[in-house]
């Protein structure tokens, strides 16, 4: 079929489609047209049809899309039926929040290990898993072969960890640190969550809303 790889813009919209379809499903909606979905989601119908057709013809002319089928298909495309062995490193506030907050299993992620470098935390149990010291990473990874790591550690810690993890065959990262994994380790798959960047973007927009595009400093006169 010669699929040329789907653009990241499209991929990033899939989870949102998945959520909306899940809700329609909860409301027992059986079919939906691209037009109606587009109105609910604030997109164009064209875009929805284009996006979906990157992966296959899931609709039917004159009818629209079967909600349940489409929901399931997108779930499969996103790999939510998998069991990707995953470790989480850094069990501070953020790590704990993520652990308790995300529905990992239903996203195809299986957390098989927790690590921290603070002796005070090592040995503590969270959701059936015991926090191990980061010194144990090598032994653990050789035995259990995790594919994904969630990094809830500061930048300088991440830097060292990623070097070690890459050697151990971990090449996918959900990265909450400011360390630029993709730049330093090409060939890895990285999804960055830069909360600070997001907040700063909001700040910009707030400022813009209040005093629209005040010309900046700029050129000497």
Q: Which of residues 50-89 bind DNA (CB under 7 A)?
A: 50, 52-53, 57-65
User: Is 43 one of the binding residues for DNA (CB under 7 A)?
Assistant: yes
Give whole-number Cα distances, 25 to 21, 117, 146, 176, in Å. Answer: 6, 44, 33, 32
- If the CB atoms of residues 63 and 100 are measured against DNA, the closer one turns out to be 63
User: Which part of the chain contacts a copy of itself (CB under 8 A), choosing from 102-110, 113-121, 123-131, 136-144?
Assistant: 102-110
Our finding on whether 215 is near DNA (CB under 7 A) is no
Q: In what order do the strands lie in the sheet with 31-32?
A: 31-32, 64-66, 59-60
C-beta separation of 34 from 49 below 8 A:
yes
Rounded Cα distance, 218 and 221, in Å: 9
Angstrom distances, CA of residue 192 to CA of 111, 150, 189, 197: 19, 10, 10, 11
Q: Which of 138, 77, 125, 118 is nearest to 99 (CA)?
A: 125
Which of DNA, a copy of itself, none binds 25 (CB below 5-8 Å, type-dependent)? none
Cβ closest to DNA, residue 14 vs residue 114: 14
The interface partner of residue 15, options being DNA, a copy of itself, none and the CB cut-off 5 to 8 Å by kind, is: a copy of itself
Using CB under 8 A as the binding rule, whether residue 128 contacts a copy of itself is answered as no
Task: Report in angstroms how near the CB of residue 159 gets to a copy of itself at its nearest.
Answer: 12
Pick from 26, 28, 61, 216 the residue near a copy of itself by CB under 8 A: 216
Q: Does 9 bind DNA (CB under 7 A)?
A: yes
Binding mask 106-125 for a copy of itself (x = CB under 8 A): -xxx----------------
Cα 14–chain centre separation: 11
Q: How many residues does the chain have?
A: 221
Work out which of 48, 98, 141, 158 binds a copy of itself, going by CB under 8 A: 98
Strands 31-32 and 189-192: unpaired
Site residues, DNA (CB under 7 A): 7-10, 32-35, 43-47, 49-50, 52-53, 57-65
């Amino acid at each position: 079929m010669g699929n040329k790889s789907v653009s990241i813009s499209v991929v990033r919209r899939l989870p949102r489609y998945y959520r909306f379809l899940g809700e329609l499903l909860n409301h027992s909606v059986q079919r939906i047209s691209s037009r109606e979905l587009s109105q609910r989601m604030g997109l164009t119908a064209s875009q929805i049809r284009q996006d979906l057709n990157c992966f296959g013809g899931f609709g039917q002319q004159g009818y629209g899309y079967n909600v349940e089928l489409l929901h399931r298909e997108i779930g499969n495309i996103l790999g939510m039926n998998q069991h990707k062995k995953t470790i989480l490193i850094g069990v501070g506030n953020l790590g704990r929040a993520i652990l308790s907050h995300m529905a990992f299993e239903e996203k195809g992620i299986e957390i098989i290990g927790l690590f921290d470098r603070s002796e005070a935390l090592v040995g503590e149990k969270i959701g059936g898993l015991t926090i191990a010291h980061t010194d144990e990473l090598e032994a653990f990874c050789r035995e259990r072969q995790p594919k994904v790591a969630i990094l809830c550690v500061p930048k300088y810690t991440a830097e060292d960890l990623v070097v070690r993890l890459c050697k151990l065959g971990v090449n996918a990262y959900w990265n909450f640190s400011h360390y630029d994994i993709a730049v330093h380790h090409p060939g890895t798959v990285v999804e960055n969550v830069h909360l600070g960047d997001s907040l700063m973007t909001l700040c910009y927009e707030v400022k813009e809303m209040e005093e629209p595009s005040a010309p900046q400093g700029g050129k000497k006169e």
